[in-house]
Amino acid sequence: MACFFFLSFSGKAKENNWHFDAELEAIYKLAINLQTDQALALLSKVNDKDRELYKIYLHSLCETIDVLISEDLVKYDALEKSFKAKLKLLESKPESAETLFLRAELSLQKGFILINLGQELNAVFGIRQAYNLTQDCLKKYPAFIPIRKTSGVIQVMVGSVPDKYHWFISLLGMKGSVKTGQKQLNELRASPVSLSLEAGIVYYAVKGLINQQIDEASKGFSEMLKTDPNNRLVMFLAINMMMKNSQSEDAYKLVQNLDVHNAGLPLPYIEYLRGEILIQKNKYDEGIAAYHKFIKIYKGDSFKKDAYLKISLCYYLSGRISQAKTFWEKAKQTGKAQYDPDISAAAMLADNPFPNEKILKTRFYTDGGYYKEAKAMFQTIQPSDLKTYKEQVEYYYRKARLAHKTNDINAAKLFYMQSIDMTGDNPWYFGANSALQLGYIYQAAGDLKNARVYFEKALSYKKHEYKNSIDSKAKSALEQLSEVKK
């Protein structure tokens, strides 16, 4: 579902910029509000030739949104045929900025879907096709503003690829830059074309997911909701960003707002996020119910391993050990470890014993922004409570995270360094993320030399649960440092 963050659309062409007429604007707003069935019903009544290109894209947008949210393989089979028919039609038309743009967009959408389905190799070739079409459009039609959206997304994607895949991307002839991508998206945000809203959505998603400027991203989505308070896509993204920013109380209000404004595609992933907030709030029975609902209604495999693990942990933290063991074993046998939550779940499950109860509670409290409760829990932890060396390392790592989030920077630096020293060569993410966070601390303080040292150190860890995501963030940060020097 992370790929869904980068979808968008345009409207009617005029002076090298696309603008919606009133009818397409209404259809588009329904699509972006995740009311794809209603959008498709209205779109079926649009039959005039001068809007054929825009109808193709809107139709593809609705289908793509549906598949990305549902991860329904049956729907993907139908969408695959639809993609081929649309691309064949576009290729048969005289070349123009619009046809190149749409061919690039459809190829990129297909790439997103393949990534979401775990078909990374096929996805890369789809994205390469989009990259080549985008470069062609930029060269031939430099004044065509909408292509900056497609180019911006691809620049961000390629520019943040983990190092272990960089050779393959280079072999395919693709070069990317997160900063260049953001610049292109920002140019589009400032333009009067119909794409400016979507450019803003992608811009803030990149800020939060790639650049780790989470507070800015959270505020950006909050500002967007002031203009359109019931937009389901913006609410969905705001919830994700607020949770990353330890604003679970604010996120929960939006979850409840989505419960009310539920017209359109169902959002199973919201039930997973609801469970995440409830476990942070110590509401274990409600959390169990939310995770079960997610597992029942979500047709994909992603996040189910973690959902079963969290059900187990809810039972564990509420003292129901027998049920906790049952769902611990269920988690081992369920789902796949493709995204970070499931990869982290698999690592915890491989340890086999249940995690330290007090440290686990401090983790959930800190993640949710319940800092008072986290500090109180830390005060109850005695040296005798830390039974293993890994628990001792995690203790300092969690102390660092809490200090960092409560702006006690000196303590955060001390505890991050302790976590790095103690992690050593062990395959735990504590050292890698401690180095990444120290890089951010020094970057914010203007100490670019030390920031570079720690970002490079974050990349140096060879194996841990969050290798891909931490490497991507460190690489993006190093690129920003290089741009500052220029």
pLDDT at 4 (0 to 100) = 46
- What DSSP line would sit under 94-114, residue for residue? PP-HHHHHHHHHHHHHHHHHH
Q: What's the CA gap between 373 and 407, in Å, rounded?
A: 16
Q: Are residue 175 and residue 236 in the same domain, yes or no?
A: no
C-alpha 368 chain-centroid distance: 18
Do 251 and 243 contact (CB within 8 A), yes or no? yes
End residue of a domain, out of 306, 331, 354: 354
Q: Are residue 258 and residue 277 in the same domain, yes or no?
A: no
Q: Are residue 216 and residue 199 in the same domain, yes or no?
A: no
Encode the chain (486 residues) as per-residue pLDDT tens digits.
Answer: 445 444 443 333 344 468 889 999 899 889 989 999 999 999 999 998 889 998 998 999 899 888 888 777 778 888 888 989 999 999 999 999 999 999 999 999 888 888 777 777 788 888 899 999 999 999 999 999 989 989 998 998 887 766 656 656 666 778 888 888 888 988 888 887 777 777 888 888 888 877 778 899 999 999 999 988 999 999 999 999 999 999 999 999 999 999 999 999 999 999 999 999 999 999 999 999 999 999 999 888 889 999 999 999 999 999 999 999 999 999 999 988 878 899 999 999 988 789 999 999 999 999 999 999 999 999 999 999 999 999 999 999 999 999 999 999 999 999 999 999 999 999 999 999 999 999 999 999 999 999 999 999 999 998 898 898 898 889 888 988 876 655
Q: Where are the alpha helices (DSSP H) in 298-408?
A: 304-317, 321-332, 340-351, 357-368, 371-379, 389-405
Do 246 and 215 contact (CB within 8 A), yes or no? no
pLDDT at 73 (0 to 100) = 73
- CATH code of the domain containing 428: 1.25.40.10
Q: Are residue 191 and residue 220 in the same domain, yes or no?
A: no
Q: Domain range holding 397?
A: 369-486
Query: For residues 89, 95, 98 and 100, what is the CA-based torsion angle, rounded to 10 degrees?
Result: 80
Q: Are residue 54 and residue 40 in the same domain, yes or no?
A: yes
pLDDT at 307 (0 to 100) = 97
Q: Phi and psi (nearest 5°) for 12?
A: -85, 135
pLDDT at 6 (0 to 100) = 46
Q: What's the CA gap between 136 and 100, in Å, rounded?
A: 8
pLDDT at 14 (0 to 100) = 40
Q: What's the CA gap between 272 and 261, in Å, rounded?
A: 18
Residue 361 lies in a domain: no
Q: What's the CA gap between 275 and 311, in Å, rounded?
A: 9
Q: Are residue 41 and residue 102 in the same domain, yes or no?
A: yes
Residue 362 lies in a domain: no
Q: In total, how many domains does the chain have?
A: 4
Q: Are residue 192 and residue 64 in the same domain, yes or no?
A: yes
User: Which long-range CB contacts under 8 A does 306-311 form with residues at least 24 apart?
Assistant: 306/331, 306/335, 306/341, 306/342, 306/344, 306/345, 307/272, 307/275, 308/334, 308/335, 309/345, 309/348, 309/349, 310/275, 310/276, 310/279, 311/287
- CATH code of the domain containing 251: 1.25.40
Residue 363 lies in a domain: no
Q: Are residue 139 and residue 245 in the same domain, yes or no?
A: no
Residue 359 lies in a domain: no
Residue 103 lies in a domain: yes
pLDDT at 169 (0 to 100) = 67
Do 464 and 432 contact (CB within 8 A), yes or no? yes
Residue 245 lies in a domain: yes
Q: Are residue 202 and residue 68 in the same domain, yes or no?
A: yes
Q: What's the CA gap between 10 and 54, in Å, rounded?
A: 8
Q: Are residue 256 and residue 305 in the same domain, yes or no?
A: no
Residue 185 lies in a domain: yes
Comparing C-alpha atoms, which of 377, 383, 348, 384 is closest to residue 362?
377
Q: Are residue 439 and residue 472 in the same domain, yes or no?
A: yes
End residue of a domain, out of 300, 326, 354: 354
Q: What angle do CA 25, 30, 33 make, to 5 degrees?
A: 125
pLDDT at 11 (0 to 100) = 36
Q: Where are the alpha helices (DSSP H) in 71-195?
A: 73-92, 97-116, 120-140, 147-159, 163-171, 178-189
Q: Are residue 24 and residue 122 in the same domain, yes or no?
A: yes
255: left (phi over 0), alpha (psi -120 to 50) or beta: alpha
For residue 167, what are the CA distances in angstroms to 44, 158, 279, 325? Answer: 45, 12, 41, 43
End residue of a domain, out of 266, 285, 303: 266
pLDDT at 163 (0 to 100) = 60
DSSP letter at 356?
P
SS3 category, 473: helix
Residue 360 lies in a domain: no
